[in-house]
Homo-oligomer: A and B are copies of this chain.
Amino acid sequence: MDFDGRLFKQELKKRKEYVDSCLERYLSETDAFPPLIHQAMHYAVFNGGKRIRPIMVMEGALLAGGQPETVAPCACALELIHSYSLVHDDLPAMDDDDFRRGQPTCHRVFGEANAILTGDALLTRAFEVLTQNADLLGVEASRVLKVIGKVARAAGSQGMIGGQVIDLDCEGKSVDYQCLQTMHSLKTGELFRCALQAGAVLCGMDDRGLWALDEYARHFGMAFQITDDILDIQGDETLIGKPVGSDEKNQKTTFPSLFGLDRSQQMARESVKICLKSLEGFDQRADFLRSLATYLLQRDS
């Protein structure tokens, strides 16, 4: 499969717009009572995110022979969890960021207390929305329960939250590769893995297929993180929505700081190669995932 950047961006945009329309449906109306928290939840979710996790949920469903619509609640739930984690990460007690994708962060707009509660509410809402895969869309209840367990583990103290704890603990310390790798695989990797599996599980994929998707997701997570670190050095501030060089300024250990830029780029290319190899058992329905991995090597945001 040749990579057609222009075609891929069109496909990505189409999927992003579909996810956004689902999010509008599954997030409470902004005028629900009390209005303040619902406005803040809306603000946190609709801030220009790339929607990679929900898209992965839907691609997993497609590869299992299902339809994106069937797993839309699950897809939205993963994005709500991602959004809550950004709101809490940005808090003054955490990374203390004033801007996110060029917009004032949630606590800058709604105050610190409301930002904490907004994150809590998005996380809680994610689990409510997850149950709707069964109620509204007829997925077998036992499969939905299995996915809820997976999501909670991926987002929990031994997954995403665990990774953030390690990240905070590493601040200002010199960190080795092993530690960097553990931190990233928990902080961002687990949720990618969960996203790609969740849609597939809901649509009944077999274990062999799930294993292949997991291989893809783990290396996708790795390539995503490495290219994220590279963007922080080489990126265009107007496209990435934050100042270039922030990792170096904050004395953060990154792939380039440990291995240099050339070797990091090489590592990203190798990870993407494994992503593509893991999809060999799938037909052209996996083409979007193939392009998504390839695209990481030329991402600009």
Contacts and interface: CB of A to CB of B under 8 A. Distances in A.
Interface of A: 28, 32-34, 36-38, 41, 84, 88, 91-94, 111-114, 116-117, 119-121, 123-125, 127-128, 130-132, 134-135, 140-142, 144-146, 148-149, 151-153, 155-158, 161-162, 164-166, 168-169
B128 A165 contact: no
A128 B116 contact: no
Given A124-B157, A149-B128, A157-B32, A116 B134 contact: no
A146 to B, nearest CB: 8
Nearest to A129: B152
Nearest to A134: B145
Contact of A145 (B145, B152, B153, B158): B145
Contacts of A161: 37, 117, 120-121, 124
Contacts of A151: 127
Contacts of A144: 141, 145
Given A34-B166, A123-B120, A141-B142, A28 B157 contact: yes
Main SS class of interface, A: helix
A146 B148 CA distance: 13
B32 A158 contact: yes
B33 A162 contact: yes
| Stoichiometry, copies per complex | 2
21 contacts: A28-B157, A34-B162, A34-B165, A34-B169, A37-B157, A37-B161, A91-B113, A92-B93, A94-B116, A117-B161, A125-B156, A125-B157, A128-B153, A130-B148, A131-B145, A131-B148, A131-B149, A132-B149, A135-B145, A135-B149, A141-B144
B116 A156 contact: no
Contacts of A32: 157-158
Given A37-B162, A131-B149, A166-B34, A157 B121 contact: yes
Contacts of A148: 127-128, 130-131, 148
Greatest chain B CB density within 10 A among A37, A124, A130, A168 is at A124
B114 A88 contact: no
